[in-house]
Amino acid sequence: MTKVILSGCCGKMGAAVTNAVNGRDDIKIVAGVDIMECLTMPYPVFPTFDELPFKADVIIDFSSPSALTGLLEYAVNNNTPSVLCATGYSEEHIKAVEKASEKVAMFRSGNMSLGINLISELAKAAAKVLGQSFDVEIVEAHHNLKLDAPSGTALMLEKAVEEGLDYAPELVYDRHDRSQKRDKHEIGIHSVRGGTIVGEHEIIFAGNDEVVKISHQALSKNVFAAGAVNAAIYMKDKKSGMYDMSDVIKAQN
């Protein structure tokens, strides 16, 4: 049995994770942390990590970068491996996670779905073959409540493409502020926000007279919740260090 503290439990993903563990006997949410009040959760909810009166095996975080400092302090002090799923982290946030990972196991992924982690590998392989002669652009679309742009997943896919290239690309976010021809070594990243779109990502390799597109569409938030639950079970008792979805997929196959 993996005992979980769910950070951001009152949000949309918090509700999806709460549903995903409902009725399972291998994982249980023992407490939630959220600055909002939600009275209907089947576990106690605390406004900050400071106020948590007990320990758990793993933290799952679907809150916001603003919760990170308190979370890392708790994770290090209580040796609690953490599955960080929130997006919008700054360079400083990422450095703080890496520093904490020297003492306690930290898992981070901009996208918890199996499909996105697969297309990330495909994008890297495609970049190795096409990257020299094709232009690469990434387009993502999300619902109108999303705070950060581009999405953490678009940035994760860009990093995968970059691993397949033998040059460091210049990242161009939208193109409204430039009137010039596209440079060969650019990767354009574009964000669409509207309605209830759960999450769409497309990597476009545009060459002379042919275009290769690798795309993924999440049809419900449940795919992210299921990925977070699998990651939490995997992270229980892990040694200090950084982990990601590829570790979970390797362990399952």
Ligand X SMILES: NC(=O)c1ccc[n+]([C@@H]2O[C@H](COP(=O)([O-])OP(=O)(O)OC[C@H]3O[C@@H](n4cnc5c(N)ncnc54)[C@H](O)[C@@H]3O)[C@@H](O)[C@H]2O)c1
Which range touches ligand X (CB under 6 A), out of 17-25, 79-87, 176-184, 208-216?
Answer: 79-87
Look at residue 241 and give its three-state secondary structure. Answer: strand
Burial zone of 60 (CB within 10 Å; 0-12 exposed, 13-18 middle, 19+ buried): buried
Q: Looking at 128, 146, 236, 238, which residue is catalytic?
A: 146
| Tokens coding 31 | 């407490």
**Smallest separation (angstroms) from ligand X to the CB of 157:** 13
The only residue of 2, 17, 31, 34 in contact with ligand X, by rule CB under 6 A: 34
- The closest of 124, 117, 65 to 89, measured between CA atoms, is 65
Which range touches ligand X (CB under 6 A), out of 3-11, 17-25, 51-59, 175-183?
Answer: 3-11
Cα distance between residue 84 and residue 244, in whole Å: 10
Residue 97 lies near ligand X (rule: CB under 6 A):
no
Q: How many residues does the chain have?
A: 253
Residue 120 lies near ligand X (rule: CB under 6 A):
no
Residue 33 lies near ligand X (rule: CB under 6 A):
yes
Which range touches ligand X (CB under 6 A), out of 84-92, 131-139, 174-182, 234-242?
Answer: 84-92
Annotated catalytic, 143? no
Burial zone of 239 (CB within 10 Å; 0-12 exposed, 13-18 middle, 19+ buried): exposed
Annotated catalytic, 142? yes
Residue 224 lies near ligand X (rule: CB under 6 A):
yes
* Count of CB atoms situated within 10 Å of the CB of 46: 16
Residue 112 lies near ligand X (rule: CB under 6 A):
yes
Secondary-structure percent of the chain, ordered helix, strand, coil, rounded to 5? 35, 25, 40
Q: Which residues form the interface with ligand X (CB under 6 A)?
A: 8, 10-14, 33-36, 62-64, 66-67, 85-88, 109-112, 224
Which sequence positions are flagged as catalytic?
142, 146
